[in-house]
Structure 1
Amino acid sequence: MTLAHQIAVVLVTTAAPNPQPNEATAGQAADTHSTTGDIVAALGPTGMLVVLAMAAFVLYVVSLSLHPNAKCNRCKGAGRHRGALFSYAQRPCNSCKGRGVHPRLGRKVLFKQP
C-alpha cells in the first residue's frame, strides 16, 4: 500500500462527529466541557485562595520589574536635605545618597540587587 492509500483508508474509516447527538451521548458531552464554576468547585476555598495568592504574587513581580525604585521618604524624592536652622543650606540626602529613590523591598529580597 502506498502512503496516500493508507491516509485515505484512515480518513474514510474515522467516524465523523455527529452534529445531533442523542440523549445518551448528550450527557457525556456536557461533562467533558468544564466551566469556571466547575473549576472553582473542584479547587475549593483553599485552592482558590492559593490561586489568588499566586496571581497577586505574579502581579507584584511584574510591578517590581516595571517600577523597581520607590521615592526616598527622608528627602521626599528631592535628593537634597535642607538644614533645620538655615533652610537655604542643602546637602545630599544621607539615606538615598542624593539620588532621590530607594530600591523597593521586593527588589532587594527577590532579585538580590542593591
Structure 2
Amino acid sequence: MIDSFRNIAKTIEPLKPLAVAVGLLCLIVVIVTVLTSETPEGDRYLIPAAVGLLWSLSSYVFIGYFASVPEKTRASQGLLQRMKGRLHRGWYWFVALAFTATTLAAAFMSYRLVSIWLGEHLG
C-alpha cells in the first residue's frame, strides 16, 4: 500500500502548487465570508470553500508525505540497517492507515456538506 501511495504521490507531485493555490483561495473565501457575512445569503460559498480547503490540504499533505516513502530493505543490507528500514517503513504504514481513515471521514463529511449546500441553494 505505501509503495502504491509513493507512486501516486510522485505521479501527481507537479500538482502540489495547484493544491496550495486552491487551498489559499478557499482559505481566503472562508475568512472573508466569516468576517463580512451578515446574512445567510452571504454565507453562500462558505461550505464549498471549506470542502475545497479540506481536499486541497489533504492533497498537499498526501503528496508531501508519501513522495518520500523509503524503498524496501534488501537482504544484502546488515541486520541493523534492515531493522531501521523496517521501522521507518512501519511508521509510513501507520500514517497510511490513519490517512486512509481520515480520507474516508473527509469523503463522508464532504458528501454531507455538499448535499446540505445543494439542498439549501438548489432545492
| Larger proportion of helix | 2
Q: How does the TM-score come out when normalised to structure 1?
A: 0.28
Larger radius of gyration: 1
Length-normalised TM-score, structure 2:
0.27
